[in-house]
Chain A
Amino acid sequence: MSTYTATVTVQLKEGVLDPEAETTREALERLGFELDALRAADRFEIDLEATDSEAARDRVEEMAERLLANPTIHDYEVAIEDQ
Chain B
Amino acid sequence: MTVAVIQFGGSNCDRDTVQALESVGVAAELVWHEDDLPAEAEGIVLPGGFSYGDFLRAGAMAAHSPIMDEVRAAADEGTPVLGICNGAQVGCEASLTPGAFTTNESARFQCEHVHLRVENSETPWTTQYEEGEVIELPIAHGEGRFEISDDRLDALEADDRILFRYCDAEGNVTPEANPNGSKHAVAGVTGESDHVAVMMPHPERMTLADIGGTDGSGVLSGFA
Contact = CB atoms under 8 A, between A and B. Distances in A.
B103 A20 contact: yes
A36 B99 CA distance: 30
B4 interface: no
A19 B105 contact: yes
B57 interface: yes
Size category of the binding interface on chain B: 20 to 34
> B interface, by DSSP: helix, strand, loop or mixed?
loop
A70 B91 CA distance: 13
A16 B147 CA distance: 8
A20 B107 CA distance: 6
Among B102, B104, B105, chain A packs the most CB atoms within 10 A around the CB of: B102
A68 interface: yes
Given A70-B60, A70-B93, A72-B99, A19 B104 contact: yes
B56 A73 contact: no
A23 B64 contact: no
B56 A19 contact: no
A1 interface: no
Interface residues of A, number: 13
B174 interface: no
B13 interface: no
A50 B73 CA distance: 33
A17 B148 CA distance: 12
A73 B147 contact: yes
Interface in A18-49: 18-20, 22-23
B107 A22 contact: yes
A73 B183 CA distance: 12
B87 interface: no
Interface in B73-114: 92-93, 98-100, 102-107
B181 interface: yes
Nearest to A71: B100
A41 to B, nearest CB: 14
Interface of B: 56-57, 60, 64, 92-93, 98-100, 102-107, 145, 147-149, 181
